Chains A and B, each alone.
Chain A
C-alpha cells in the first residue's frame, strides 16, 4: 500500500548541510498498523512529512497504491491528500469554529461528496468511536482524547489508503492515549485501515503489528509483534534503551 524507496533528505543551515534521512526504504501492507520509533534526531517526523509531501525530499520515491506521489503538482497532490491519505496530528488540528460532526465531515465536503451519504457515514464513524454524544459539541468543549478520536474519525472519512499519524498520543494522558489507540485498532479491524504512526511512546507502539526503528536517519531495524503485547513492549523498550534515548523528538 505504502512504499518508500531510497529516500534521502537533508537540511541546510548557512554553509552546513545536515543529512536527516539517508537512503530510507520501507513498505507498509494494506491493513497493517505500523509505527516508527527512534531516538531524538533520528528523522521520524521528517520521514512522515516527506511521505505526506509536506516537505520535499532530494532522492528516492514515495509510492502510494503503486503511484509515485513524489512529483505531483499542487492540484494532484491535493486530490491525493483528500482521497488517499488521512492525517492525525499531535495538536489535533481541528477547526475550533466547527462542531465535532462538521470537523469529521470536512474531507467529504472538500471532495464535494453527496451530503446525505456523507452525514450518514460521519454518524456511523462517530458511533464506531463512541463519540456520538459529543457530535454537536465544539473542540473547546471536549477532552484531549475526544479531540484526537475526532481527528481519527475525520482521517477515515474518505476511506484513505493510509492514515499518517504524527505523535497522535503525544499530548494525551494514558487513558486518552489508550482510547485513541483503540480507535486506530477499530479502524483497522472494522474498516481495513492502513495506519502509519510516528511515535516515541512504546506503550502506543506496542499495539502495532510492526515497529520500524530509525537511527541517524537510517532504518536501524524492525520489530514484528510476536507473543503478547507486554512482551512486544518490553522488546521495544530494550531496543530504544540500546539506541540511547526515549525517542522524544520533534525533528
Chain B
C-alpha cells in the first residue's frame, strides 16, 4: 500500500467532487470558447461596424460572460477545496508535510483541469457550429451569416482557460497555505455570525436600490435636459449604491427575523432561519452574486428580444411601403419598370407617387458636447432636402398651409425631440448655385417617415412660391427625385408574404443595379460638408465609395441612397440584428447556467454544513416531514430571494432606461416591458427545475446523516 494508492482511492471515493469541479471547468470553457468563436468569427466581425457602440457593447457582454463563468467555476472549486480540507487536516495531524500535500494536490488539480479544459475547447467547435446552425434555422434569412470559425476565437478561449486555470491554482495555493489543523478540527463547531441585522436594513436597501438607479440612470438625462451638462464617467459609481442596496435587502431577508404579529410563523420557520443566520455573510454574498446573474440574464435576453422587435417595427409607421430618392441626373427605375417587375412577381402596385426635391444649403443650430461633457450650441452648415408644399399635400393627402418665408419640418411619426437638435433649428437657407439666402420662419412639423429618413437633420417643406424661386436657377446637380409606392399580392391563393418579399428583393436589386457613381456615397456623406472640410485643409471622414452590390450586407445601412421597403426591413430584421440577438441570448444562457450551478452548490453546501443539526433534530424527535419542510423553506430562500431581487432590479433598470431614453414610454416599450415579465417567469421556471434537483440531493445528504446517527 502506497500513498499513490491511497490518494487514488480517496479520489475514487470523492469522485463526485472531482466531477463537479470538472463540470464547472468544462461548462465555462465550452461556453466562453463557443461564444468567442462566434464573436471573433469573420462573419460577425465583418458585420459589426468598426469602433462602433455595438462592438463596444459586445465586448462588454463578452467580459460579463467571462466573469460569470469565472465566478461559477471558482465557486465550484471552493466547494472542492472545502471537501478536501478534512483529508488535509487528518494528513497534517498524522505528520504529512504540507509541501508533499501541495504537490499531490497540484497533480490532482492539473489532471482535472487539463482533461476538462481540453474537452471544453475541443467540443466548443461543434457546439458553436450547432448553435449557429440552430440560429440560422430559426432566423429568417441568414444566408449571409455563414459559419466561418476564426483562430482568434479559439485563442481567446484558450486564454480564458489559462486565466481560469491560474485562478484555480491560486485558490489551491491559498487553500494549502491556510489549511490549519485547528480550523479543520473545529470545522463542525465553527459558525460565522454577521453583526446585528437591524429591522430597517431591508427598507434602507430598497431605498438605496431606487436611489442608485435614479442617480445613475435618470440624473444624467435630467442634467442634460435641464442644464445642458452631462455627468462625468465617474458618476457611474452611483450604480454601486444599487448594489449596496441589493446586498442589504438580501442580508435582511437571510438573517433578519422577529416574532412580530405572526409568532406562529416565526416559530414555524425558526430552524430554517437559524440555518441561514449562521452563515449569513457567506449566503448573502452568494445570493447577491446570483441576483446579479439574474439581472444580467434577464437584461441581456430582454435587450436581445427588444433589438429584434425594434428592427421588426422599423419603418412600420411609414405611409408608403416603398420609397427611395436618388440624384436627379441618375437614370433610375421609374413607374413603368416598377410595374413590370411587379407583374413578374404577381403583385400589384396599389399606389405610386413621385416628386422632385431640392438640395439646399442650410445653416442650423445644433448641439455638441465638449470634453467636460458640457453641451453647447453651434451653427452647422450642410445640405438638406426641401419639398414643395403642394407636392407634400399630394403624396400625404394632408393640407399644408405655408406662406412665403415659412417652413415646416418633416419628422418621423411620434417624433420625440432629442438634445442634439430641435425641429425649429433652421437659421438660414441658401441656394448653392446662386448664393441667394432666406431666413425662414418655423411653422411646425409634418410627420412623414418616408421623407424624414432620407435627410439629416430633417427634410423641410417650403411654400410653392419659395420652392419654385429656389428651383428656377438650381441645376439638376442639386436636385433629387423621390418615388413612393405600395405593392400588394392580391390573389387569395399562395403565400402572400413570399411573393411580396420576392418582389421587394427584385425591385431593390434592380434599383441597386441602376445606381451610378453619382449616388455612390456613404450614408452620412454631404457634399457641402466635404467642400468646407477640404477648404479648411481638413480630411473629410465620409468621403469614399461603397460596394454597390445587392449582396453587400452593409448596403442598406451604409448607402446614402439606400431604398426603403417595409417588407424587406421586417423580413431582414433578424438578419440585421442577428448578431446582437444571438450574442445577447447566449449571454443570457451562460448567466442562467452560472446561476443554476451556484444555487445548486449553495444548497448542497448548506446540507453538508448542517448534517449535525439535522441529526440533532432527529434526536429531538422531528420526523421526515418536518425535515423536508425545513429543507424546502431553506431552498426556497436560496432560489427565490435572488431571483426576486434580480428581477425587481432589472425590471426597474429597464423601466428607467426606456423611460429616461426619451422621457416617455411608448406603447411598444410597454409591451416590451411586459415581455420582460414573461422572460422572468421563464427563467424562474428553469431555476425551479434546478431547485427540484437540489431538493432531491439535499434530502439524500440529510437522510444519509440521519441513518448514520
Residues of A within 8 A of B (CB): 49, 52, 54-55, 74-75, 78-83, 85, 87, 89, 91, 93-98, 102, 105-107, 109-112, 115, 118-119, 140, 154, 158, 250
Among the listed A75, A91, A98, which residue makes an inter-chain contact with B188, where contact means beta carbons less than 8 Å apart?
A91
Among the listed A74, A140, A250, which residue makes an inter-chain contact with B708, where contact means beta carbons less than 8 Å apart?
A140
A107, B94: Cβ atoms closer than 8 Å: yes
30 residue pairs bridging A and B, Cβ less than 8 Å apart: A49-B182, A54-B181, A54-B185, A55-B182, A74-B97, A74-B98, A75-B97, A78-B92, A78-B95, A78-B96, A79-B95, A80-B95, A82-B94, A83-B95, A87-B94, A93-B89, A93-B90, A95-B87, A97-B9, A97-B12, A98-B9, A98-B10, A102-B1, A102-B6, A106-B94, A107-B94, A109-B6, A110-B3, A110-B94, A111-B95
Q: Which of B67-107 touch A at CB < 8 Å?
A: 86-87, 89-99
Which chain B residues lie closer than 8 Å to A93 at the CB level?
Answer: 86, 89-90, 93, 185
* Identity of the chain B residue whose Cβ is nearest the Cβ of A55 in the assembled complex: B182
Residues of B within 8 A of A (CB): 1-3, 6, 9-10, 12-14, 86-87, 89-99, 181-182, 185, 188-189, 708
B95, A110: Cβ atoms closer than 8 Å: yes
Among the listed A54, A75, A102, A115, which residue makes an inter-chain contact with B182, where contact means beta carbons less than 8 Å apart?
A54
B93, A81: Cβ atoms closer than 8 Å: yes
Q: Smallest Cβ distance from B707 to chain A, in angstroms?
A: 9
Give the one of B1, B94, B98, B99 with max A CB within 10 A.
B94
A118 to B94, CA, bound (A): 16
Which chain A residues lie closer than 8 Å to B13 at the CB level?
Answer: 96-98
A192 to B393, CA, bound (A): 115
A142 to B156, CA, bound (A): 52
B3, A109: Cβ atoms closer than 8 Å: yes
Q: Smallest Cβ distance from B61 to chain A, in angstroms?
A: 43
Which chain B residues lie closer than 8 Å to A80 at the CB level?
Answer: 95
Q: Smallest Cβ distance from B574 to chain A, in angstroms?
A: 53
* Identity of the chain A residue whose Cβ is nearest the Cβ of B98 in the assembled complex: A74
Among the listed A54, A82, A105, A140, which residue makes an inter-chain contact with B1, where contact means beta carbons less than 8 Å apart?
A105
A89, B185: Cβ atoms closer than 8 Å: yes
Which chain B residues lie closer than 8 Å to A95 at the CB level?
Answer: 10, 86-87, 90
Q: Smallest Cβ distance from A225 to chain B, in angstroms?
A: 30
B2, A110: Cβ atoms closer than 8 Å: no
* Identity of the chain B residue whose Cβ is nearest the Cβ of A101 in the assembled complex: B1
Given contacts A95-B87, A115-B2, A118-B1, contact A102 B9 (CB under 8 A): yes
Q: Smallest Cβ distance from B107 to chain A, in angstroms?
A: 17
Which chain A residues lie closer than 8 Å to B96 at the CB level?
Answer: 78, 82, 110
A83 to B97, CA, bound (A): 12
A144 to B157, CA, bound (A): 50
Which chain A residues lie closer than 8 Å to B6 at the CB level?
Answer: 98, 102, 106, 109
A133 to B86, CA, bound (A): 26
Which chain B residues lie closer than 8 Å to A98 at the CB level?
Answer: 6, 9-10, 13
Which chain B residues lie closer than 8 Å to A158 at the CB level?
Answer: 95
* New A-B pairs, 13, CB < 8 Å, besides A54-B93, A102-B9, A109-B6: A74-B97, A75-B99, A79-B95, A81-B93, A82-B95, A83-B95, A93-B93, A98-B9, A107-B94, A107-B95, A109-B1, A119-B1, A250-B189
Which chain B residues lie closer than 8 Å to A112 at the CB level?
Answer: 3
A52 to B92, CA, bound (A): 12
Q: Smallest Cβ distance from B38 to chain A, in angstroms?
A: 42
* Identity of the chain A residue whose Cβ is nearest the Cβ of B189 in the assembled complex: A250
Which chain B residues lie closer than 8 Å to A250 at the CB level?
Answer: 189
Q: Smallest Cβ distance from B165 to chain A, in angstroms?
A: 26
Which chain A residues lie closer than 8 Å to B98 at the CB level?
Answer: 74, 78
Give the one of A79, A91, A105, A109 with max B CB within 10 A.
A109
Which chain B residues lie closer than 8 Å to A110 at the CB level?
Answer: 3, 91, 94-96
Q: Smallest Cβ distance from B18 to chain A, in angstroms?
A: 12
A30 to B1, CA, bound (A): 31
Which chain A residues lie closer than 8 Å to B2 at the CB level?
Answer: 109, 115
Q: Smallest Cβ distance from B195 to chain A, in angstroms?
A: 13
Which chain B residues lie closer than 8 Å to A75 at the CB level?
Answer: 97, 99
Give the one of A52, A78, A85, A111 with max B CB within 10 A.
A78
Given contacts A82-B96, A102-B9, A250-B189, contact A97 B1 (CB under 8 A): no
* Identity of the chain A residue whose Cβ is nearest the Cβ of B186 in the assembled complex: A250
B1, A78: Cβ atoms closer than 8 Å: no
A83 to B13, CA, bound (A): 28
A115 to B99, CA, bound (A): 23
A83 to B98, CA, bound (A): 16
Which chain B residues lie closer than 8 Å to A97 at the CB level?
Answer: 9-10, 12-14
Q: Smallest Cβ distance from B611 to chain A, in angstroms?
A: 12
Q: Smallest Cβ distance from B92 to chain A, in angstroms?
A: 7
* Identity of the chain B residue whose Cβ is nearest the Cβ of A78 in the assembled complex: B97
A95 to B92, CA, bound (A): 13
A112 to B87, CA, bound (A): 18
Which chain B residues lie closer than 8 Å to A96 at the CB level?
Answer: 13
Which chain A residues lie closer than 8 Å to B9 at the CB level?
Answer: 97-98, 102
Which chain B residues lie closer than 8 Å to A78 at the CB level?
Answer: 92, 95-98
